[in-house]
Structure 1
Amino acid sequence: MRLNFDQIVSHLKLPLKSAYLISGDEPMQILEATDLIRQAAREQQFLERETYHIDSKFNWPSLLEQGGTMSLFGDKKILDIRLEKYPAKEGQECLLQLLSANDPNTLVLISGPKLDKAHQNKKWAKWISAQGVWIAVWPVDLAKLPHWLISRAKQKQRNLALEAAELLANRVQGNLLAAKQELDKLFLQVVEGEQISLSLIEQQSADNARFTPWELIDECCKGNYQKLPQILKRLRQEKVEPMQLARMLQKECLLLEKLAQLKADGTMLASIYKEFRIWPAKQACYNPALKRYGVKGWQRLWVRALALEKVIIGAEPGDFWDDCLDVLFLMSGFS
C-alpha cells in the first residue's frame, strides 16, 4: 500500500500493518510521520521500542539477532530502523528476512531518504509496498507553501491571513521545520479562532530582535540601505556562515539579472512574477531593485558577490564583512 503524508491520520484509525517505510528528503515530515505511527502503535500496545541508526558500517546480522528476540517483559515492540542510505545486498537480504517473519508482536518502522526507482524494485521494498505501507514525503512546492501554512494553522484552530502566510513562506524559503517553529511561536500569541495578521508577524520579527539572511537581502532590494549595517552586524554576531551569505547574494543577483532580461525583452512584470512563482511580498522587494539596475548592472553585482568567496578562502586580500557591506550598499543603490 502506498500513501501520501495527508493520508496518514485516517489510515492510522485502522489496525496497523506489520511494516512501514517512510521515505523522502523532507526531514520534518518524516519526523512527524514516524511520530504519528509510533503514537498509534503505543495505543495498540506496542510498548517497547528499539532504535537502530544504520550507516555504512552497521552490522546487519545483529539486527536480525536483536530484532528477532522477544521483549524482556513480553510486550509488543517497535523496531525503529533509521537508514542513512539504502542498503547494499547484505542489508537488503536482512531487511527482507526481518519483514518476511511478519511477527504480529513486532512493528517494523523504516525511515530513510528518497527511494529511487532502483531501490523501489528491490525485494524488501516490494514486500513493504505489497504487505505493509510505503509513505513517500515530498518537499512542499514553494508556490504552495503559503497555503500549506494556512492549512497548518487551521489544524490548530487559528486563521492565518494570506499576506501573512506569503511573508512567512518567503522568510523560511521552503524549510518546513523553520516554518513549524515560527508558527508555534505565533500560536502562543493568538487564541483559538483569532487571525494571525501580517502586522503580528512583522511585530514578532521586531520583538525577536534577530535577523535572517533573507531579511537582509529583502531590505537591500527595497533600497533600505540605512538598515543594512545593523542587520549584517547582527548576522555576524549570530555566526551566520560567510560562504552561505556570499552564495545567497550571488543567487539573488543572478535571479535579478534573469528578471531584468525578461523585462528588457518586453515581458510584463506580472507575467514574469507568475512564471518564477514570486509572491506579492517578494515582488515588493524586486520592483524597486529592477528599477534600480538593468541586466548589465546585476551582472556586475554578481561578479562582485562572487569575489567575496575569494576573500573568504584567502585568495584575495580584504575583510569579508566590510566587503560584503560594500556589495550590499551597491545592490541597494547607495554608494
Structure 2
Amino acid sequence: MKLNSNQLSRHLNGDLLPIYVVSGDDPLLSQEACDAIRQQARSQGFSERDVFHVDNQHFDWSQVLQAGNSLSLFADKRLMELRIANGKPGDSGAKAILSLLERPPEDTLLLLILPKLDGTTARSKWAKALQESPASGFIQLWPIEAHQLPQWISQRLAQGGLSATPEAIEVLCQRVEGNLLAAAQEVEKLKLLADGTQVTLDTIQASVGESARYDVFGLVDALLAGDAEHVLRMLQGLRGEGVEPPVLLWALSRELRNLASLAQLTNGGLPFDRACSQMKPPIWDKRKPLVSRALNRLSSDRWSALLQDAQHIDAQIKGQAAGDPWLLLSQVCLKMCGKKLKLPSARLY
C-alpha cells in the first residue's frame, strides 16, 4: 500500500509491515524516512541488521533469498536493507522481490531503498506489486519545490518549538537555495540562537555571523568551482569543527547525482538549460555557471564512477567496508575538482 511522508509517522505507531519501500531522490528526506523505520524496528526487537548494495546487473540475488530464509544467529528479529542505487533490480532481482513479497521471511523486516522510479519502472510488475500489496508500505518521497520551501521550513521550525517572521523565512529560503539538507542545518542552528521562540531577520543575520568558518555549502561551491586547494583546507576545517562524515556525504552525493544525470542528458543532445530544468529539484539559475564549469571537467562515465565511490564511503561510515571515510572523501573531492591525487590510496576493492 502507498504511504506519503506525512502518514509514515502515524503508521509506524502501530504494527510494522513485513516490507517497506522508500523511493525518492532527496538524500535528507530519504534518510529521515529510513531512520524512522529503523528506529521503530529496533523498538520492536529487530536488533540485527543486514545491508545489501545492489550496484550492478551482476548482483547475486540468491544471497538475499538465502539470508531471508536463514535463522539469525544473534537476534530474534532482523532488519534487511536492500539499496538499489539505480532503481532497476533487473529480471533476477524482480523475481526475488516478488518472491519475498509473496512469502515474507519470518521475523524479518525488509527495507528497500530506491531513487525516484521512472515511469516505465514504476509500471513494472514488481514495482506495482510493492505499491499495491497490503504486506508492504511504499513511501514515495516527492521533492520540495521552491514554492513549497517556506512552508517546509516553517513546519521544521515548529517541530523545534519556533516560529518565524515572513522576512526571516524569505531570507532563509534564499540562503539555502532549495537544498533541504542546508535548510535542516540552518534550523538546528536557529534553535540555539533564537531568543525565545520567535525567529526574526536579526536572528537569521546572527546565525550567518556565527556560522562556522568552514561550512558544508561553501565546500560544495568550492567543489563545483574546482578549487582543490581550498576544498582540502575546508575538509580539514570541517573535520576539526566536529562535522561528521555522513553530513558531508549527503551534500556530496546530491551534487554527484545531479552532475551524473546532467552529463547523461547533455551527452544525449539535450541543451544544458533544459537539462537543468528537468532535474528534481531544478538547478537554480544562479548556480548554473558553477554547475556548468564542473560538468565540463569530467566525462559522464567518470561522474558515474564517483557515485560508486560515494556508495563505498557510505559503507565505510557504517563499518561495512574497511578504510577511513575521510581519506576517500578527500580523494572524491579532488577528483571532482579534476585534480590528480597526492594522497595514499584508500580504495580497498
- Is the pair's TM-score, using the shorter chain for normalization, greater than 0.5? yes
From the superposition, tell whether residues 114 and 15 of structure 1 become closer, same or farther in structure 2 (CA, over 3 Å): same
Aligned letter for 1:71?
Answer: S
Offset of residue 98 of structure 1:
2.0
- The answer to whether structure 1 residue 101 and structure 2 residue 103 are counterparts is yes
Q: In 2, Cα distance between the equivalents of 1:212 and 1:73?
A: 41
1:146-199 Cα offsets, whole Å, 9 max, x none, are: 1110111101111122211111111111111111111111112237x5112111
TM-score (norm 1): 0.62
Please give the alpha-carbon distance, in whole angstroms, between the structure 2 residues aligned to 1:149 and 1:174: 11
The answer to whether the 8 Å contact 1:212/1:235 transfers is: no
Report the CA distance shift for 1:156/1:140 in structure 2 as closer, same or farther (over 3 A).
same
Shift of 1:213: 12
Matching residue's letter, 2:150 = P
Please list the CA deviations of residues 212-237 of structure 1 after superposition, one character each: whole Å capped at 9, or x if unmatched: 8999xxxxxxxxxxxxxxxx9x9984
Q: Deviations over 1:296-326 (max 9, x none)?
A: xxxxxx9xx79x969x97xxxxxxxxxxxxx
Give the match for residue 46 of structure 2.
Answer: 46
Q: Do the aligned partners of 1:50 and 1:79 also contact (CA within 8 Å) in 2? A: yes
* Root mean square deviation, CA, Å: 3.5
- Which residue does the alignment assign to 1:20? 20
| Partner Cα distance (2:95, 2:50) in 1 | 20
Structure 1 letter corresponding to 2:17: K
Q: Residue 22 of structure 1 contacts residue 112 of structure 1 at CA under 8 Å; is this kept in 2? A: yes
Looking at structure 2, the residues matched to 2 and 26 of structure 1 have their Cα atoms a distance apart, in angstroms, of 18
Shift of 1:60: 1.4
Counterpart of 2:113 in 1: which secondary structure? strand
Give the structure with higher Rg (CA): 1
Please name the residue that 1:78 is paired with: 79
Distance 1:87 1:101, change over 3 A: same
Residue deviations 1:130-155 (CA, integer Å, cap 9, x gap): 22111100111111101110111101
Q: 1:235 to 1:143 in 2, by over 3 A?
A: farther
Kept in 2, the 8 Å contact 1:150–1:161? The answer is no
Secondary structure at the aligned position of 1:52 is classed as: strand
One-letter identity of the residue aligned with 1:127: A
Aligned equivalent of 1:88: 90
2:78 maps to amino acid = K
The percent of aligned pairs where both chains have the same amino acid is 36
Provide structure 2 residue ranges, at least 5 long, that are not aligned to the other structure.
219-224, 235-254, 256-272, 274-283, 298-349
- Return closer, same or farther for 1:83/1:213 CA change in 2, 3 Å cut-off: closer
CA contact (8 A) 1:99 1:124 kept: no
In the alignment of these two chains, the number of paired residues is 236
Contact 2:97 2:126 in 1 (8 A): yes
SS of the aligned residue for 2:193 comes to coil
Alpha-carbon separation, structure 2, partners of 1:190 and 1:309: 38
Following TM superposition, where does structure 1 have runs of at least 4 consecutive aligned residues deviating by more than 3 angstroms? 209-215, 234-240
CA contact (8 A) 1:213 1:235 kept: no
Identify which of 146, 162, 179 aligns with 2:150.
Answer: 146
Per-residue Cα deviation, 1:66-104 (whole angstroms, up to 9, x for no partner): 232111135111111111012110111112112222234
1:176 corresponds to: 180
- Which of 202, 211, 217 matches 1:199? 202
Listed as ranges, the matches of 1:106-255 within 5 Å are: 106-129=108-131, 130-131=133-134, 132-190=136-194, 194-208=197-211, 210=213, 237-238=230-231
Change (3 A) 1:309 1:113: closer
Q: 1:238 offset after TM fit, Å?
A: 5.0
Task: Give the C-alpha shift of residue 61 in structure 1.
Answer: 1.3
What CA deviation, in whole Å up to 9, does each residue of 1:34-86 have, x standing for no partner? Answer: 11111111222212111112100422111111232111135111111111012
| Distance in 1 of aligned mates of 2:212 and 2:50 | 42
Q: Tell me by how many angstroms 1:210 deviates.
A: 4.8
Please list the CA deviations of residues 237-276 of structure 1 after superposition, one character each: whole Å capped at 9, or x if unmatched: 4579xxx9xxxxxxxxxx9xxxxxxxxxxxxxxxxxxxxx
The answer for unaligned runs of 5 or more in structure 1 is 216-231, 245-254, 256-277, 279-285, 287-301, 314-335
Query: Structure 1: which amino acid aligns with 2:113?
Result: S
